[in-house]
Amino acid sequence: MSAAPVQEGVELTPPTMGMTLFRLIIRVAGRAPAYMLLYVVCACYVLFNAQVRRSCAPYLRRRFPRAVGFYYWWHCYRLVHSFGRSILDRVIASVLGSDTFAVSLRGRDTLFRLRDEGRGMILLLSHVGCWQMAVAAFAALEQPVYMLMHHHASVFEQRHGGGFAFEVIDPNGYLGGALEMLGVLKDGGILAIMGDRVPPREKNVVRVPLLGGEVALPVSAYHLASSTGAPIAVLTSHRRDDGSYLMEVAEVLEVPRALGRRCDSYRPYACRYAAVLERYCARYPYQFYNFFDMWQ
């Protein structure tokens, strides 16, 4: 059993040199000039980089199926700019301090209730909003969070090491970290896993409907919940218009005990998770950051 790790980046990653320039601008002139430059940079990406447009197409063609010509390019620009802004916000936080951005948590009482039940808890995250910023809200839980994440994601570790107590479980470890994850949950701990991407060589998946097609999703989180009795809190995050971030509990999944190893047994719960993603895309269409063909 393995799980989809928390990943530090996605396919559209800006050049290191470009990030160095933005860091310099932020240090010298502050945030406003960096945000202004971002408009130009994102426009150039969309206009002159065909790979960027191809990476946006699978999602945009399904979210905005009637958009053609200028309207499609406008949607593409807004998606790229939103993603670029999330990256820039992380750079700003690393330069000016993590308290530069306000982060709030909606559904705090629900998480407290699940935590205090002592069954352990799985936080099911997605590549939406800017989870790397919003996880600062986990400090409210007053308990360490174990995140399934590649150990080479050192930038995340350095940025959030002082913000809340967390430990990394490496998916490249023995059995994909499965024994460590089971141990955390059986001890009543909190485990964070990504639910919207299938890791390489992962076979434990189900296909579920999303935006008019079907996507493959890993079942590991639901399998862990069934094995341990831990509830799953599906969390989403988004950037507000005022520049603050909100992490919220979108749904709580209770998976029955001992459903076994058959992937189809977990399809209803993966479908409910996919429905959360679909509702999210309806509300925040430019903060969905899976830049690959999930429907392939």
Give tens-digit pLDDT for 266-296.
999 999 999 999 999 999 999 999 999 999 8
Q: Is residue 288 part of a domain?
A: no
Predicted pLDDT of residue 151: 53
Q: Do 84 and 204 belong together in one domain?
A: no
Decide which of 99, 134, 156 is a domain's last residue: 99
Read off the pLDDT of residues 170-194 as tens digits, 9 standing for 90 and up. Answer: 887 767 788 999 999 999 999 999 9
More confident residue, 4 or 235: 235
Tally of domains within the chain: 2
Q: Do 216 and 135 belong together in one domain?
A: yes
Decide which of 75, 99, 123 is a domain's last residue: 99
Buried b (16+ CB within 10 A) or exposed e, 228-261: bbbbbbbbbbbbeeeeebbbbbbbbbebeeebee
Q: Do 20 and 53 belong together in one domain?
A: yes
Q: Is residue 33 part of a domain?
A: yes
Q: Do 175 and 242 belong together in one domain?
A: yes
Decide which of 81, 99, 117 is a domain's last residue: 99
Q: Do 68 and 205 belong together in one domain?
A: no
Q: Which domain, by its residues, includes 187? A: 101-283
